[in-house]
Amino acid sequence: MADADRKDTQEQAEFRAYCRDWLTNNKPGQPPVRIPLGALELSDPAALQWLQVWQKSAFDAGLVGCDYPVEAGGGGRNNCQTIANQEMQRAKTPFFPNIIGLGMAAPTVLFHAQEDTKNALLPRLFSGEDIWCQGFSEPGAGSDLANQQTFAEKRGDSWVINGHKVWTSLAHFANWMILLCRTDKADKYNGLSYFVVPIQTAIGKGVTVRPLIKLTGETGFNEVIFEDLVVEDKYRLDAVGAGWKVAMTTLSHERGAGQLVTPSAGGMTQDNTKGANTSSPSALIELAKTSYRNGKTAADDPLLRDEIIKIMIRQEAFRQNQRRALVPALIDHPMRIPLQNKLIGTEFNQDLAEIAYDIQGAASSLYLNDENAPGGGEWQLAYMNSFGVTIAAGANEVQRNILGERVLGMPKSK
């Protein structure tokens, strides 16, 4: 996103120049293995390791956690993460593997953890040395998140956790989990508490992680079972019974509506795939110019041209929405645009990849295991994977309820 044309503060301008310079010399080269579309699709340990090296180098250079306090491993800057993100996008770097840590765990830990816990956990989170996962969803608690059944029972100074989490991305690699669970069965919302849990060291000792296979055929997310796992009280976030409030901090950041900008890199295309960047309309146009449907160049099809332009308009509008969200005089409700972001972003990617299907015509039947697949079959994979995010983090149907209720003031649909 070409945000570099907006005026920076002096601190931002200096930091931007620093980032650009550092990235010129330190941006990773081509990876030795196939890197998937995003961190949530990571299944190859070699890919993870390569990405962890990149995240650590970016953290050591000060490009990760820029706006977090220094004592928590951050850079102590003002509104500079967005600058680092823009420059990393501009440099087309790889993405960061610790996406749940950066986007959800870090702000939650910062705002709600005890001081020692905070300072112990955040530096290794930012560096990517620790990978984090999120233990929210359960078999009976998807869109109805507060219906948590995983139970934490206080025994002495510790907590004993029993329960079952599902759709847990990255749990197979994760050292830590942010965990929402029940501490009081009598009160649906006020009976929830929030913990950070060291899961990797407890595998086989109260924690079982089993892979779930996605409809794409990839692994990447899991079910996690807790059987009498003992967790120290210092890993409780905020008060007992305040779990729902803490979870809202996580969710507002997950949905792009939080106080802190998530460190985010990306934009890399790979020479060792056929180079499809499946989140970019310009890549879609390239695909249309080189694809045939019904024997004719897809880019000449007037109906497809219209679809491509519609989605480009949505992309530009999203960009300009982010800009307008910061201008109080031009917004009616402070959360009106931030609460739209998850919905708009995920549906944008889904619809973009769906157009790619139509562009490819008969060749849209081909997948990653076919050498003739346009763009390496990545568009088809992206389309299928897009449902992960239109469902996760509060299905988009729930997002529309939230917008209708909190922003438009309509009655609750429950």
Partner 1 sequence: MIEQPKNFGFGEDETMLRDSAKKFFSDHCSADKLHRQVAGNPDIHRNIECIWDKGLWQQITELGWTAACVPEAAGGIGMPLVAALALAEEAGRAAFPSPLISTFNTTFVLRECNSAAANDVLAEIAGGKPMSLAITNQQGSWEPTDTDVSIDKGQLNGTAWFVQDARKAEGLVVSARSAAGVGLYYVAADAAGVAIAADGIIDLTRDQAHISFTGVTAVEVAAPGAGDVALAYALPAIQAVIAADMVGAGEWLLQTTVEYANTRVQFDRPLGFFQAVKHPLVNVMLDIDRAKSLAYSAACAIDSDPERQEWANTVKLAHMAKANASDMAVFASSRAVQFHGGIGFTWECYVHLFFKRQMHNQMLFGDARYHRAILADMLIGQAA
Binding of residue 228 to partner 1 (CB under 8 A): no
Binding of residue 303 to partner 1 (CB under 8 A): no
Active-site residue, from 218, 254, 307, 378:
254
Q: CA-to-CA distance for 167 and 224, rounded, in angstroms? A: 9
Q: CA-to-CA distance for 110 and 115, rounded, in angstroms? A: 9
Cβ contact 94:268 at 8 Å: yes
Q: Which residue has the tokens 């999120």?
A: 134
Site string for partner 1, 25-64 (x = CB under 8 A): ----------------------------------------
Binding of residue 90 to partner 1 (CB under 8 A): no
Q: Is 45 buried (19+), middle (13-18) or exposed (0-12) by CB count in 10 A? A: exposed
Helix (H, G, I), strand (E, B) or coil at 259: coil
- For partner 1 (CB under 8 A), the number of binding residues is 51
Site string for partner 1, 332-371 (x = CB under 8 A): x---xx--x--xx---------------------------
Task: Compute and round to an integer the Cα radius of gyration of the chain.
Answer: 22
Cβ distance to partner 1 smaller for residue 196 or 284: 284
Binding of residue 239 to partner 1 (CB under 8 A): no
Binding of residue 312 to partner 1 (CB under 8 A): yes
Given 2, 10, 25, 215, the residue binding partner 1 (CB under 8 A): 2
Cβ distance to partner 1 smaller for residue 67 or 301: 301
Q: How far is CA 315 from CA 42, 75, 201, 326, in A?
A: 26, 31, 43, 18
Q: How far is CA 360 from CA 29, 133, 364, in A?
A: 30, 36, 5
Beta strand residue intervals within 270-413, DSSP E: 292-293, 296-297
Cβ distance to partner 1 smaller for residue 132 or 348: 348
Residue 316 known to be catalytic: no
Look up residue 376 and give its two tokens: 């390496």
Cβ contact 162:149 at 8 Å: no
Q: How far is the CB of 407 from partner 1 (least distance, A)?
A: 7
Q: By CB under 8 A, name the binding residues for partner 1.
A: 2, 4-7, 285, 288-289, 297, 299-302, 305-306, 308-310, 312-314, 316-318, 320-321, 323-324, 326-327, 329-330, 332, 336-337, 340, 343-344, 397, 400-401, 403-405, 407-413
Which active-site residues does the annotation give?
A: 254
